[in-house]
Amino acid sequence: MSSIILPKTKSRSALLREKLGYPIVDTDFHTEEFGPAFIDVLKKVGGAEIAAKYVAAISGTGRAQWLNISDEEKKEFRISRTPWWTRPAHNTLDLATISIPSLTYKRLDEFGIDFAIVYPNLTLFAPSIPDDELRRAVVRAANIYSAEVYREYSDRLSPVAVIPMHTPEEAIEELEYAVNVLGLKAAMIAGHVKRPIPGIVKKYPELEKEAFYIDTYGIDSPYDYDPFWAKAVELKVSLSTHVSGQGLDTRRSISNYMYNHIGHFAAASEALAKSLFFGGVTSRFPSLKFAFLEGGVSWGASLYPDLIWHWQRRNKAAVEQYNPENIDKELLYALYEEYGGDHVKGRLDQLHLGANYLINNTVVPLELRDEFADIGIEKAEDIRDLFVPNFYFGIEADDPTIHTAFDRKGLPFETPLRAFLSSDAGHWDVRNIADALADSYELVEKGVISASDYKDFVFTNPVSLYAGSNPDFFKGTVVEKQVDALLKEKGGQ
C-alpha cells in the first residue's frame, strides 16, 4: 500500500507561525479515542460487565435515542434535542488526525501549533456519569488510556486527566492517581454535579432524575471541597472545566440543537465561576487557577465588572441604605395622603401591601446581610485581585468576542482578562484545523486587538495558566526555552 501524502504546501497558519516568531500554545485540542482500544483498557479497569454496561449506555442514549422517539413522546416528556453531526466529516484527513495521536503530532507544524493541551471526545463527560461504579471505572480508564497513547508525544502534546467531582474524596483520589501514578500534568474537573433535591426525592423517589439541583462546589454545596482545592495546589495542577449547560434551565428545546447550544458553555461556566468566587475559593487559594473552555470571554467581561457593581451597592455598609428601618413612615404616609389621589384615599392602612411591603420592617439578621462575607472584600480592587489572576477563558479561534478580554478602557481598573487560544479542533465548529490559527489572527489584521494582545492570547496567558501553577509544566517540551525566557521576563508570573 502506498503512503498517503500529506499536504506539502504551507498552510496559512504555518506561515503565520513563522511570521510571529514565538510559540503557539493551543489549550483545547480535541481528540477522538479509538473505541476498541479504550474498551480494552476499561475491561482491565472494571471488568467485562462494566465495559458492556458502558457500551450499552453510549449506544442507547443521546443522539440516536432522540431520533427514535416520537414527537408525542418528546412533547410529553420534554426530551431535549441533543447534539448531532459533531465531527468534521467533510474533512477525512482532519477526522483521522483527531483519532490518531501520531498523525496529530505529525501535523502540528501544519496547524501552526507548537504545543497543545489534548482533550478527549468519547470520555469528555465521563466525570458526569451518575452511576458511581461506572463513572469511577470509565474515568480511570480514560486517564490510563490518555497517559499511554500520548506518552511518546509528550514534548508537544499533553492530555488532561478527567476528574469526577461527586465528592471531594473521589476527586482527590483520581487527581492523585492521574498525577502521581500516570504523570498527567493538566486536569479537567466536572463543571457541576446534579444532585437530587432531598425533600422531593424522599417523598417522590421516582422523580430523582428530574428533581435535581446543580452543585457548583463553592456555595451551597453539601460537601467541603477545600481539601480538593488544597490537593490541586499541592500537586501544582491548574484546573479546567469543559462544562455543558445543554439540557439545563432554558436550554431544553425538544426540537432545536442550536437553540440549546448557543451560550450553554458560557452559562454553565459563569455559574461555576460565581460559585467559586462567592464561596471564597479564590480567596482561600489565591494560587489556584481555573480555566473555562469553549464559552468565550464576553461572559467574563460582563461578570467581572458586574461583581464590582453589585459589591459597591450591596456590600455590608452600602446595603444598609435599603434597611426598612430607614423609612420615615410619617413622611411616607404624608406623601401618599397629599399626592396619592382617589385611588389611595381611605386606604392608607393597607400601605404595607404591594411595592411598599418594606414598611413592614422585614428583619434580616446582621450576620446574613453581608453576602460577600466569605470573600473578605474591603475595596473594589480586591475583586479584581480575586478574579483576574485566577480565572482564564478559553476562546475558539474565530470567536469575534475575543476583543472584550483586552478592552482595557471598558474593563475595571483597565485590567485585561486572561483569555487564551482554545481552538476546539476536532469539533464541528472547526471546519479545517489548519485554518484555525490564521482565522484567529484576523482580529489583529482588522485592528480589533493589538499584536501584543495576540501574543498574550496564544502564548503568554497559556503559559501563565500552566507554568504559574507548575514551573516545570513545560520542561522537556519543544517550547521549554521560550517559556523559561518568558517567565524570566515576567518575573515568574
| End-to-end CA separation in angstroms for the chain | 51
Smallest CA-to-CA distance from 17 within 157, 158, 117, 115 is with: 115
pLDDT at 113 over 80: yes
Instruction: With residue 93 as reference, give the H or E element that holds it.
Output: helix 92-97
Query: Of 172, 174, 290, 273, which is closest to residue 238 (Cα–Cα)?
Result: 290
Q: How confident is the model at residue 359 (pLDDT cuts 50, 70, 90)?
A: low
Q: Is 161 exposed, middle or buried (0-12, 13-18, 19+ CB in 10 A)?
A: buried
Q: What is the structure's pLDDT at 288?
A: 97
- Split at pLDDT 50, 70, 90, the class of 57 is confident
Cβ within 8 Å of residue 291, ≥6 positions away: 27, 238, 239, 240, 241, 391, 392, 393, 394, 420, 465
Give, in order, the Cα–Cα distances in Å from 111 to each of 341, 435, 457: 73, 7, 16
d(CA 345, CA 206): 54
Is the predicted pLDDT of residue 356 greater than 60, yes or no?
no
User: Average pLDDT of 49-58?
Assistant: 91
Helix (H) or strand (E) run with residue 195 in it? strand 193-196
The CA-atom distances, in angstroms, between 365 and each of 278, 320, 362, 369 are: 19, 12, 10, 7
Average pLDDT, stretch 96-102? 94
170-to-119, 163, 253, 412 alpha-carbon distances in Å: 21, 9, 33, 38
Q: Which helix (H) or strand (E) holds 106?
A: helix 101-111
Query: To the nearest whole number, what is the mean pLDDT of the chain?
Result: 91
pLDDT at 333: 82
Q: Which H or E element spans position 158?
A: strand 157-163
CA distance 111 to 436: 7
The cell numbers describing 13, all together, are: 497558519
Residues spanned by CATH 3.20.20.140 within the chain? 20-313+392-489
Among the residue ranges 86-90, 132-136, 391-395, the one predicted with the least confidence is 86-90
Going by their DSSP bridges, the two strands 115-119 and 157-163 should be labelled as: parallel
**What percent of the chain has a predicted confidence (pLDDT) above 90?**
69
pLDDT for 56: 86
Tell me how far apart the alpha carbons of residues 472 and 442 are, in angstroms, rounded to a whole number: 33
In SS3 terms, 263-319 reads as: CHHHHHHHHHHHHHHHCCHHHHCCCCCEEECCCCCHHHHHHHHHHHHHHHHHCCCHH
Residue 1 has pLDDT above 50, yes or no: no
Q: What is the mean pLDDT of residues 41-57?
A: 94
CA distance 384 to 375: 12
Q: Kindly list the distances between the CA atom of residue 244 and the CA atoms of 61, 229, 253, 293, in Å, as whole numbers in the listed order.
A: 16, 22, 15, 10
pLDDT in tens, 168-190: 999 999 999 999 999 999 999 99
Following DSSP, what letter does each residue of 442-493 receive, concatenated? HHHHTTSS-HHHHHIIIIIHHHHHHHTT-TTTTTTSTTHHHHHHHHHHTTT-
pLDDT at 4 over 80: no
Of all residues in the chain, what percent carry a pLDDT higher than 70?
A: 96
pLDDT greater than 90 at residue 326: no
Amino acid at 492: G
pLDDT digits (tens, 9 = 90+) for 477-493: 999 999 999 999 987 55
Per-residue pLDDT at 361: 61
C-alpha cell at 442: 484576523
Find out if CATH 1.20.58.220 is the number for domain 20-313+392-489: no
Residue 61: pLDDT above 80?
Answer: no
Q: Residues 241-281: pLDDT tens digits?
A: 988 888 888 888 988 988 888 888 889 999 999 999 999 99
pTM metric for this prediction: 0.93
Q: Would the pLDDT of 475 be above 50?
A: yes
CB-CB contact of 385 with 416 (8 Å): no
Whole-number pLDDT of residue 90: 86
Contacts of 213 (CB under 8 A, 6+ apart): 194, 195, 197
Q: At what angle do helices 132-150 and 168-176 cross, to 10 degrees?
A: 20
